[in-house]
Amino acid sequence: MTTSFTARAQLLLFILFNLLCTIVYADDKAINKDNKPAIIGAGAHFAWVIFNDLKPALQQSSGRTVELFGKESMLGMGCNAGIKMAQQNQPGKESFGFVCCPLSDKEVHEKDIQVHPIAKEPILILVNKQNKVQNLSQQQVSDIFSGKITNWAEVEGEDKPVVVVTRLHCKHRPGHWKTILPDAKSFRKDRLNVKSAAEMVKRVTDFPGAIGHTGATWVFGSDSNVKSVSVSGFSPTAGNLRAGRYPFYRVLSAVTNKQASADVMAIIDRVQTGPEFSRVAKEYELVPIRQ
């Protein structure tokens, strides 16, 4: 059953990729002076935010139209889709991916891809705005998510049960939420598991006693009733992350196959080292890896 599901998922991604190419390439000749087709980038939302904000500069660097897919992981996009998009790159249909989780050396080797790190992103610890708790120690965060602490009164909050909300995606990959606890089995069993960042924010908004986690590049809407707490007295800023004072983070990266064209690499290099990225990094509290 697992093999069949994987095969169907791969087929769906292949069909989706070709559909995106068809849609983009149909209108692209009027945009590109040299009549080259658009370059497609797709993958996880949190890395998509960076590429999308820098899109004008990326098109300038490559001299090509760039089409990006991944907002709120739309159309089934995510880290796995980003890797598939990178693998499907070929002349005439150039593509790359982006991921919000680190990849192991084993996975990189097996999938014959290259990873281009962009930035470290703080992982915010979210609580409902009604919660009077403003700070938790790193140990308290771990104990809450593991279920050792089950009432906010235990951490100088109100006498309310803790509702743990998790999004434990990419379980076989290192980093990301694993900076909170090392594996899914370590998290409290009676928890709410969600499938997207939007659902994470909604659940923490819905329950006054909830706690959750999400990346710093998430843009909170006016209907979200959440706040991030400091950890051991340090807020989730780039400065604290860079200095090693804030403990929870993940690495956002671009992914290519080993046949990436010069134009694709120009796009990725502009994200990694271009002057425009300083503005984006400041806005989202990111720590650039190559700058």
Burial level of 132, CB count in 10 A (0-12/13-18/19+)?
A: exposed
Same domain, 203 and 160: yes
Same domain, 209 and 264: no
Report pLDDT for 198: 93
Alpha-carbon gap, residue 114 to 154, rounded angstroms: 46
Same domain, 23 and 133: no
3-class SS shares of the chain: helix, strand, coil, % to 5: 40, 20, 35
SS3 of 198, please? helix
Same domain, 146 and 256: no
Q: Residue 128's domain is classified under what CATH number?
A: 3.40.190.10
Same domain, 22 and 50: yes
Q: Which helix (H) or strand (E) holds 58?
A: helix 55-62
Same domain, 228 and 268: no
State yes or no: pLDDT of 17 exceeds 90.
no
Alpha-carbon gap, residue 286 to 205, rounded angstroms: 25
What's the structural domain count of the chain?
Answer: 2
Same domain, 152 and 186: yes
Report pLDDT for 30: 35
**Radius of gyration for the chain, computed over Cα atoms and rounded to the nearest angstrom:** 20
What integer is the mean pLDDT of 282-289? 97
Same domain, 79 and 126: no
From 19-23, 25-29, 68-72, 83-87, the region with the lowest mean pLDDT: 25-29
Calculate the average pLDDT of the chain: 89
Same domain, 204 and 233: yes
Same domain, 116 and 260: yes
Alpha-carbon gap, residue 158 to 60, rounded angstroms: 53
pLDDT in tens, 245-254: 999 999 999 9
pTM for the full predicted model: 0.86
Same domain, 221 and 203: yes
Same domain, 270 and 227: no
Range of the domain at 207: 121-249
